[in-house]
């Protein structure tokens, strides 16, 4: 059997279900004409209604779940699952901040062959806070585009 034949057979079965089986099933359900009729239903009648009522309630629940906005707890759980940028540096601190006076950076720039110093912004450098080029592999692996902060000394 080819895929095309399989799809046609599946569509025929679905068509039969929607046009014939489902209407016949719904007509066979013991649904009373008014609310007083529910008191006259037998236990067997109620058992016949269980699959139908369960299916309807499940469809309503799934519809509301899809349409309602996420609550705050779900958003927090999503954030917790996302990986952190800083995986290892100074994790004991609330915020990692490195402050450099321009006078402190000047000797680094003078020592560099090309008169510039690159500072890491991907948090993955083994020479942190200096950049060691680790972001190149990180970018290939993740599709990210992070790069270093480059400080140059353009005095001539």
Domain CATH number, residue 141: 3.40.5.90
* Both tokens assigned to 34: 């008014």
Does some domain include residue 82? no
Q: Which domain, by its residues, includes 129?
A: 102-152
Task: State the Cα–Cα distance between residues 154 and 88, nearest whole angstrom.
Answer: 34
Task: Give catalytic residues, as residue numbers.
Answer: 95
* Same-domain status, 114 and 55: no
Question: Residues 85-134: pLDDT tens digits?
Answer: 766 767 787 777 777 777 776 666 666 565 677 888 888 888 888 889 98
CB atoms within 10 A of CB 133: 16
Token pair recorded at residue 4 = 């095309």
- Tell me whether residue 88 is in a domain: no
Give residue-wise pLDDT tens across range 40-76.
999 999 999 999 999 999 999 999 888 877 676 766 6
124 CB-contact burial (10 Å; exposed 0-12 / middle 13-18 / buried 19+): buried
């Amino acid at each position: 059997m080819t895929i095309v034949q399989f799809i046609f057979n599946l569509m025929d079965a679905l068509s039969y279900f929607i046009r014939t089986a489902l209407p016949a099933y719904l007509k066979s359900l013991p649904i009373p004409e008014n609310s007083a009729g529910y008191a006259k239903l037998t236990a067997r009648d109620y058992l016949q209604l269980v699959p139908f009522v369960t299916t309807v309630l499940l469809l309503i629940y799934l519809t509301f779940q899809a349409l309602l906005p996420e609550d705050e707890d779900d958003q927090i759980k999503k954030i917790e699952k996302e990986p952190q940028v800083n995986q290892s540096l100074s994790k004991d601190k609330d915020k990692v901040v490195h402050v450099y006076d321009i006078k402190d950076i000047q000797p680094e720039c003078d020592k560099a062959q090309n008169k510039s110093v690159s500072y890491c912004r991907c948090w993955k450098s083994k020479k942190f806070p200096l950049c060691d080029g680790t972001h190149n592999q990180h970018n290939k692996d993740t599709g990210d585009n992070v790069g270093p902060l480059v400080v140059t000394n353009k005095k001539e």
